[in-house]
Amino acid sequence: MGALLAGALAVSGLMASEGDALLARWLAMQTNVATWSADFVQTRRLKALTSPLEAKGRVWFEAPARFRWELGQPARSIVLRTDAELLVLSPGLRRAERYPVAAMAAGPAGDVLALLEGGFPRDAAGFTNRFELLGTGSTNGLQWLRFRPRSEGARRLLSEFSVLLATPGMELHGTELVMQDGSTMRTDFVGARLNGPLPAGWLASPVDATWRVTQPLGEGPR
């Protein structure tokens, strides 16, 4: 029994060290990313529905943290992150939520913001402080790393998530989120373009005087 236990512990330690090495390699490669853009297909599976919900979209990312997510074609929702703020836009309703980045930096909101940054964490120490590596593996030619938030507050919203990487170059292929209620959201990226030019005006906001803007972390509607 002692020998079996020792063997199991040795295998567990080897797997952990391999996982840590893979994580370190992935994080180190993010410093090579200046810009990235892709189309994507997002698949949501909800317990209340027998069939998944699927939508297409586009994403643009510019290091260190600026990005734009558009869901739907034409876009029915947009998440836009500039240097100073995060905007959540509903073009059809002409409504916008404005979140100062500084106010989101700490706590669960910061974890959510980190997840939105296109899968390209620039601060390795900050990332590992926020997220715990649960395991690694490979499926259908993809390498995956599975994490969970270290913050209990963040885990009330998000139980765990996975990053899917195309081997051997470890390019970002997709992400999968598991919510606290067991529902999942998988995003598969296609046609990714690394370190290419981004289109003019990609970071521009459509918000004007005709939009209703709220600041959930600050002032009320204005």
Q: Helical H runs in 100-164?
A: 101-104, 107-116, 124-130, 152-155
Give pLDDT, residue 118: 57
pLDDT interval class at 114 (50, 70, 90)? confident
Global confidence as pTM: 0.84
Q: What is the pLDDT of residues 134-166, one digit of tens each?
A: 999 998 889 999 999 998 888 888 899 999 999
- Asked if residue 221 has pLDDT above 90, the reply is no
Higher-scoring residue by pLDDT: 62, 222? 62
Q: What is the pLDDT of residues 56-94, one digit of tens each?
A: 999 999 998 899 999 998 999 999 999 999 999 999 999
Domains and CATH numbers, the chain: 37-214 (2.50.20.10)
Distances from the Cα of 61 to the Cαs of 65, 106, 123, in angstroms? 7, 22, 16
Q: Is 10 left (phi over 0), alpha (psi -120 to 50) or beta?
A: alpha
